[in-house]
Amino acid sequence: MATGSVYSLPVTINYEDTDAAGVVYYANYLAYMERARNACLRAAGLPLTVVRDEHNAVFVVTEVRLRYRKPAMLDDVISVTLEVDELRGASVTFIHHVLRGEELLVDGQIRLGILSGDTCVPCRIPDVVRQVLDRHRIQ
């Protein structure tokens, strides 16, 4: 089986993302990674509103591990990538890399749980969502 494709989202660093020295605030990397996950689903025709409204499922972050290697700076154009490391019945683990060109700035692993939208109890990942995530699975 072929290796899954890496999804990549370009992000330009704005003034609002940085401190007075022009360095990206550390928590913003989590927002960039979430943006990449949302954009990946949206690009496949599954915006989160459809997942919630038509499939009664919502994502919640259950675990985060990040390693900061080098800072992104004001006006940098970075790429935020994702691959699916583990796809289970009611959770998915993503591997993210934040790159400036070929230079690795931040890498991390984020696990999301899936909850029923109306009861907030764990539920199986809807098949249509699983199919999209499987395209980006590390083989």
Contact 116, 63 (CB under 8 A): no
Q: Active-site residue among 19, 53, 75, 134?
A: 19
**DSSP string spanning 34-95?**
HHHHHHHHHHTT--HHHHHHHH-EEEEEEEEEEEE-S--BTT-EEEEEEEEEEE-SSEEEEE
Residue type, 112: L
Radius of gyration over alpha carbons of the chain, in Å?
16
Active site residue 19: yes
Which residues are tagged catalytic? 19
